Amino acid sequence: MKFSVYQVSRQGGRPLNEDRLGYTYTRGAVLLVLADGMGGHPEGEKAAEIAVQAFTRAFRAQAQPTLADPRAFLEATVLAASQAIADYARAAAMPDNPRTTAVAAVLQDGQLTALHSGDSRLYWVRQGRLLARTRDHTYHDKPELFRNLPPGLNRSVLFTCLGSDSPPLYDVLGPQALHDGDRLLLCSDGLWSVVADPDVAAGLHGLPLKDAVSQLADEALRKGGRHGDNVSLLALEWEADEAFAATEVIHPDALGAEDAVSSDAEALAPGAAHATDATAGPDDAFDDEAIERTIAEINDAIRRTALRKSL
């Protein structure tokens, strides 16, 4: 299994960057995850941190070296992550829950399975052609769900997210087969709100992954201007060609604190420095007991899903 990953998160004109992103892998599977904490609610950055941690830590616990069922894993984990955010708010006696969008992808056995809730997106590009992108949970992107919209409604408003007291709505893409050279991009709305879909697809093609992603981030910041949103991008190129170096790791310190690139999943042990969840540190929202409890909940949900499928 061979791939290249590059990530960047840059602050726009906002006082705080509430985006969080990360990736991790084993010999047989890769996880990408990005969350965008929602403004208008307290501690959006904490909600995004909890979501990314829930995905990366559950993956590391369960991918041995592959997941039994990537779709079941993603579905169970998004529910557990949302509940963990609500539990955090309850424990802190917060008057309102932190909330976040999330998009996550698992690459395993040459196939892509992805899940999203909210308006953080995944783009799947092959030779500059957009194969698929996730559809936002907004009145604009999913009008077929609503027969009669009230007049004056802001159609870009989200109707679901992680962290509310009710379970989040989500959509699943795949599993679908990947081709050599396919590129995936997970991004916050700081990119797609100012860069059109065809331009995102074109921007991912024709340059090394690092350069392509950096240029997209630069374009989004330029178009967003001084009041623009934060821009976070997490991209992967699958099965790069033979000219691609088998072992190449550039640590974040060499690129700046917000950028990282790596290649070849078998070159380093899982959990290495570049296989980052981008949120660990002394302010970690989970203690060991909470982590174990969340993982147990995810495993229980996966078992229930498997049982339903067998009936």
Task: Tell me which of 155 and 2 has the higher pLDDT.
Answer: 2
Specify which residues 123 forms β-bridges with.
133, 185
pTM of the entire structure?
Answer: 0.77
pLDDT of residue 224: 82
> CA 311, CA 307: separation in Å to the nearest integer?
6
Average pLDDT of the chain, as a whole number: 77
> CA 135, CA 11: separation in Å to the nearest integer?
24
Contacts made by residues 16-19, CB under 8 angstroms, sequence distance 24+? 16/45, 17/45, 17/230, 17/232, 18/44, 18/45, 18/48, 18/100, 18/230, 19/48, 19/188, 19/190, 19/230, 19/232
Nearest to 297 by CA among 20, 91, 78: 78
> CA 18, CA 45: separation in Å to the nearest integer?
4
Tell me which residue has tokens 């829930």: 54
Task: Tell me which of 242 and 280 has the higher pLDDT.
Answer: 242
Mapped onto helix, strand or coil, the DSSP state of residue 83 is helix
Task: Tell me which of 26 and 265 has the higher pLDDT.
Answer: 26
Q: Are 112 and 183 in contact (CB under 8 A)?
A: no
pLDDT of residue 119: 87
Report residue 127 as tokens: 């030779």
The pLDDT-based confidence of 213 (bands split at 50, 70, 90) is very high
Contacts of 64 (CB under 8 A, 6+ apart): 26
pLDDT of residue 239: 82
47-74 pLDDT per residue, tens: 999 999 999 999 999 999 999 999 999 9
> CA 188, CA 9: separation in Å to the nearest integer?
9
Query: Dmax of the chain from CA atoms?
Result: 56
> CA 153, CA 175: separation in Å to the nearest integer?
35
Q: What share of the chain is helix, strand, coil (3-state, %, to 5)?
A: 30, 25, 40
Give the dihedral sign, CA 7/17/131/219. negative
247-269 pLDDT per residue, tens: 333 333 333 334 444 433 332 22
